[in-house]
Each structure stands twice: as structure tokens, then as C-alpha cells.
Amino acid sequence: MPHFGLMDSAALGPERAALLRARLHMRGGKRRLRQGKISAGIAAIYDALTSAMEWFCASADRRSRVRGAPGDFLDDRSLYAALVRSGILDGTFDFNLFRQVVDRALEAEIAVKDTSGIVEGVESVLSQLGVLPFDEGDLPPEDPSTL
């Protein structure tokens, strides 16, 4: 995965680690898509999305804006729905359709001619959460050997 060897989660703590992981995986996922590694790119971008949602809820201040009890967010779908229900996300991104694409990508290499809609949709969600934009110079340099 795009964060291997580039961050120490224990030293960063859960909130900062989730933010860095989201950014590293978005950057790495886009690179993999450009390289034609569609399934790996989609998986990395999905991890960026889930890490961004985890980051948002890692802060008590931000978490207080999400309607529902922490036990309501047992999986990524319910957390996404809660973020939409709470008005934090606008709900225009089709999370369930994206999950279907991710599930197919995890089973086998998939051929998608145009992934721009996926990238734009996830970038929109990450922007609404406050994960994007960021300065690439703040991230550790990429390690192409991670895949």
C-alpha cells in the first residue's frame, strides 16, 4: 500500500496517521491508475476515502457534528450515510456504486476505460471532509516499489 515505509502510525497517533494515510493513498492510487494498475489504484483510493472518514471522526470536535452514536458506524457504508445525513457530505457521490467497483477490483484486475469520475467523486468527498487540498511537498516522497 502507498503508506508502507512512509509513516509511523504509532508515533503519529490515530488522527494524524489517518490524515496522512488518506493523502498518501489518494496520491498513490492516482499514480497506479495512470500506470494502468486499475484494481490497485481503486483499492488505494478506497482506502484513502475510508481513512479520510476515520480522520474526520477521530477528532471529538468534528465527531460531534456527526448525527448518531459511535456504535452506529460499524462499517464504512453506515459512516458515509451518517456523514451525509449530518450535512457534512452532500451525498452526490454514489458510495454504494463505488463499493461495488471496489469489490470487483479486489476479486480480479478490472478494465475501466475512464476512472476520472471515480477520482473526481472521491476528491469531492475528501474536500468536503477537509482532507483536500494539501501541499504535496508536505508528504514524504513516493516509493514506487510499493507496487
DSSP line for the chain: -TTTTT--HHHH-HHHHHHHHHHHHHHHHHHHHHTT-HHHHHHHHHHHHHHHHHHHHHSHHHHTTS-S-GGG-SSHHHHHHHHHHTTSS-S-S-HHHHHHHHHHHHHS----S--HHHHHHHHHHHHHHT--S--GGGSPPP-GGG-
Range of the domain at 48: 9-134
pLDDT in tens, 80-122: 999 999 999 999 999 999 999 999 999 988 877 778 899 999 9
The tens digit of pLDDT for each residue in 65-77 reads 999 876 777 899 9
Query: Residue 75's pLDDT is what?
Result: 92
Question: What's the rounded mean pLDDT across residues 49-56?
Answer: 96
**Overall number of domains in the chain:** 1
Is residue 113 situated within a structural domain?
yes
Instruction: Dump pLDDT digits (tens) for 26-52.
Output: 999 999 999 999 999 999 999 999 999
Residue 104 belongs to some domain of the structure: yes
Residue 146 domain-assigned (yes or no): no
Q: Is 5 left (phi over 0), alpha (psi -120 to 50) or beta?
A: left
In a domain? residue 19: yes
Q: What angle do CA 21, 2, 111 make, to 5 degrees?
A: 115
From the list 78, 77, 54, the residue with the least C-alpha distance to 68 is 78
Predicted local confidence at residue 110, as pLDDT: 86
Does some domain include residue 141? no
Answer whether residue 70 is part of any domain: yes
In a domain, 56, yes or no: yes
- The CA angle 104-2-107, to the nearest 5 degrees, is 15
Tell me if 2 is assigned to some domain: no
